A and B are shown apart, each in its own frame.
Chain A
Amino acid sequence: MAVLLAVSLVVFLAVFAVGDPVELLINPEATQHEREMMVRALGLDRPVWMQYLTFLGNAMQGDLGISFVHGEPALQIIIERMPATFELVFFALLIASLVGIPLGLYVGLNSDASLSRAIMTGSILGYSIPNFWKGMMLILLLSVWLHWLPTSGRGETVDILGIPVSFLTWDGVRHLVMPVLNLAIPNTALMIRLTASGAAEARTQDYVKFARAKGVRPQRIVRRHILRNILIPVITVLGIEFGALIAFSTITETVFAWPGMGKLLITSIYRLDRPVVVSYVMLITFLFVLINLIVDLIYAALDPRVKLMDRAP
């Protein structure tokens, strides 16, 4: 709660300090009278502390204000865009985990193999190429030259429980591939490196040596002892990445004109649409708190030493 309050205050004041949205919204040929009416209608004629208090009062009742640009409730506009971003991030991280963790394990367990070196070199590339450039290269290669995939947009969607998703139509999948790939590549690289270093470290631990001496089958050692131990940092990073991608996959969404939240954020900042920017940041803060909670719960499931509540001894 305190976090949300602090965040809302900082963002509110920051957007206020940047400039006057009326200058961007109003038709430049508008008369003085029209301008004053607009300022009043948006509530910008009152001092900034009063604007903030009004905002807080309304926020308590779940009303985060009406978008200056769209004329509809800010929260509703953001939530409308949420499914598109969630879909993108979910598939990106799914691919990152399904590809990254096994590859990382292989590298960690066979660190001297030449294939391992190749994977590690590739992962450095995957992690360090700028997102924007990579997106443009994907478009150039897969769309402009090969004509395999559409360049941008979301394609056809179907409603599931009232939520539009695109992974169930062929057209939607074709639109999904490139943005998902663009988000998945750096995350796959991250997963590889994280898993590899964890596995390499765990391999030399006493409990692994002991299990090996005991004659446990190698596969069981990997599954039961190594993987389970290294999953904790992996889950933590996955959680953080999930939040970060939901909030700030801005670049990928802009390059592929994906109608998600990141694209909304960037256009709202340009147009000083304060209600949307403030609601956005508050929502993301809330989301991060929630993700951290979920990550903690997963810890407890994975690591018997972590207990959610101290039981009496």
Chain B
Amino acid sequence: MRTNFLHVLSFLTLPILLPVGASAATLTVGLASEPTSTDPHYHSFTPNNGLARSLYGALVTTDANQKTVPDLATAWSVEGDNVWTFNLRKGVKFSNGVPFTAKDVIFTFCRVRNNPQAISDYFGNPVTNFVKVETPDDHTVRITTKVPEPLLPERMAEMAILSAGIVKHGEIAFDLANGCGVTGEWPTLARFNSGEDAIGTGPFKLTKYTKGAGVELARNENYWGEKPAWEKVTLLPIPNAGPRLAGLLAGNYDLVENPAARDVKQLEGDPRFGVTIRPSNRVIFLQMDVSKDQSPSVVTQNGTNPFKDERVRRAISMAIDRDTIVKRIMDGAAAPASQFVPETMFGAQPNPEPLIYDPEGAKKLLAEAGYPNGFKVTFAATNDRYINDSQVAQAIAQYLSRVGIQADVDAMTASIFFTRRSKSEFVLSMGGWGSTTGGASSFLQQFVATLDKDRGVGRSNYGGWSDPAFDAVILKAIATVDETKRAELLREAGKLALQKLPDIPIHFESTIWAFRKGIQFEGRMDQYTLPALAKAVK
């Protein structure tokens, strides 16, 4: 397609028609989806949280591997199980030059409880567990919780700290019943989006936010840490992967997130561009209904639900060739999974037993379980939520058919899939889960624990799995504040889950970033595209 004529033409016209080449101190980023607000407490949504990390600081933050590291607090400690002390960093200023103190932390705790526009109570919820918050001096915050919260530092990493200066107030104190000393109107979504209240301690400050058209940032010259290389950053939402990559190739963008995996090879061979592929925290897995005796979606000779049998679940796992799926369908942008969280995560199995591909063994197990001729099942999957999801589902169905299980793929759009899954309509489905907080506990307490609304566990256990031995360990783990003990309990719980396989891990998705020469971008497990992490190199 590329003809000599075009080459000559482009060569001739290039010098005249390239007036807006990216200058050294500006960075233009092509995002796959757009932040819906600059209010960091509006909606816990990956693009919003990513933007919040550029604009605001938090007491604690997480590094590229989701380990908690200091941000506005230089150190923290816990006395007993309920009293946490955070020592705040001195000499920090907000982007408008106002010094940061413990009052701003208290104000933030109060604001997340006085935020009626928020899409859910996600950010306000941790504060409901606070009995009191004291500030012995301007740079110490002491929190007392009702029930032990081992994940408090991680929760604090999600809570962007606002400046108390954005509202009219008297003496700020943690006194929710009386408005905490705030006398004016609480900050609104509109005031954040206009930029008026979007004042934080992050590496950048907001210049302009236009819905649908992008976000403009400028370097925060008051930032306490290493200042980013970019004076100006533009974040543009380009939801379609093709045009997003074209923008990079054409030189309009310096960095784009999630180019299609099939284009990576071409980019890697091109000296003008660089690529970063980084395993993410999202596992793709199969979930089976193990509680119903019968279901219209599964047809067997004896009329039973085969997934109740541990041997059938094991056989399904053995029937799937994860390496080939990763290589052929995911184009290498994934890693085969033998557990539910990546090995580097808190509480993960250090050396999990690999889930091997053994179709003969799978057939044998199925025969032992009483299904020598297999069975017929409807296999539900999304077709627009995870990377190549419908192709992965098709491949799994073919592997299953090789051992005699006839799986009919029913791929649907995410909005329908999630609604139907929440009503436990599927007997076999393929889902995804990103473990953002709590390390290994996130998946296990959400999907494997028996549903218990009061304790808040088992909310995604749509298959109705229930194992008292597992429940005892996971419930103990999530209430243990001591990190070493908690990690040990989580490893034990993870081992129990992998023995019985109520869910079958398939692979971990990787996140891909592509960028022009002259930029170094490391990438993160949590998939945030943080402009501050883009380094200028020669």
A residues contacting B by CB (< 8 A) are 18-21, 23-35, 37-38, 41, 68-72, 77, 80-81, 84, 135-136, 139-141, 143-148, 150-154, 171, 254-257, 259-260, 263-264, 267, 270-272
Contacts and interface: CB of A to CB of B under 8 A. Distances in A.
B240 A255 contact: yes
14 contacts: A21-B415, A24-B414, A26-B119, A31-B459, A141-B6, A143-B250, A144-B246, A144-B250, A145-B2, A146-B10, A150-B252, A152-B252, A257-B243, A270-B414
Chain B interface bracket (under 10, 10 to 19, 20 to 34, 35 or more)? 35 or more
A29 B359 CA distance: 35
Nearest to A174: B20
B9 interface: yes
B351 interface: no
B52 to A, nearest CB: 14
Contacts of B436: 29
Nearest to A24: B415
Contact of A37 (B44, B121, B415, B460): B121
Nearest to A26: B120
Nearest to B423: A20
A249 B120 CA distance: 33
Nearest to B42: A71
A71 B37 contact: yes
Interface string B112-151: 0000110111100100000000000000000000000000
Given A32-B456, A37-B120, A71 B239 contact: no
Interface stretch (B102-110, B210-218, B496-504): B210-218
Interface stretch (B11-19, B175-183, B325-333): B11-19
B270 to A, nearest CB: 12
Interface string B26-49: 000000000011000011110000
B23 interface: no
Contact of B243 (A154, A171, A256): A256
Q: Which 5 A-B pairs have the closest CB atoms?
A: A259-B212, A19-B419, A23-B418, A143-B250, A19-B415
A140 B246 contact: yes
Contact of A18 (B6, B122, B210, B416): B416
Given A27-B120, A29-B436, A263-B212, A146 B9 contact: yes
B423 to A, nearest CB: 9
B251 A259 contact: no
Contacts of A256: 243
Interface string B220-263: 00000000000000001111101100110111100000000000
A108 to B, nearest CB: 34
A135 B238 CA distance: 14
A69 B210 contact: no
Interface string B420-451: 10100000000001001100001000100000
Contacts of A271: 415
Contact of A28 (B238, B384, B453, B460): B460
Interface string B379-421: 0000010000000000000000000000000000111101110
Nearest to B120: A38
A69 B43 CA distance: 9
B250 A151 contact: yes
A147 B212 contact: no
B189 interface: yes
Contacts of B433: 28
Nearest to B6: A145
A310 B416 CA distance: 54
Contacts of B116: 41
A81 B212 contact: yes
A155 to B, nearest CB: 9
B265 to A, nearest CB: 17
Nearest to A139: B246
B422 A34 contact: no
Given A28-B446, A139-B246, A147 B120 contact: no
Nearest to A21: B415
Contact of B212 (A23, A37, A143, A264): A264
A153 B413 CA distance: 27
Given A34-B122, A255-B243, A256-B243, A147 B250 contact: yes
Given A27-B44, A271-B415, A171 B20 contact: yes
Q: Which of A30, A147, A267 has the most CB of B within 10 A?
A: A147
Nearest to B188: A71
B6 A146 contact: yes
With most chain A CB atoms within 10 A of its CB, the pick from B43, B243, B446 is B243
B433 to A, nearest CB: 7
B243 A136 contact: yes
Contacts of A32: 453, 456, 459
Contact of A151 (B246, B419, B459): B246
B122 A27 contact: yes
B424 to A, nearest CB: 13
B36 A69 contact: yes
B464 to A, nearest CB: 17
Given A144-B250, A148-B17, A30 B240 contact: no
Given A24-B418, A34-B122, A257-B239, A29 B10 contact: no
Contact of B252 (A31, A68, A72, A151): A151
A30 B436 CA distance: 12
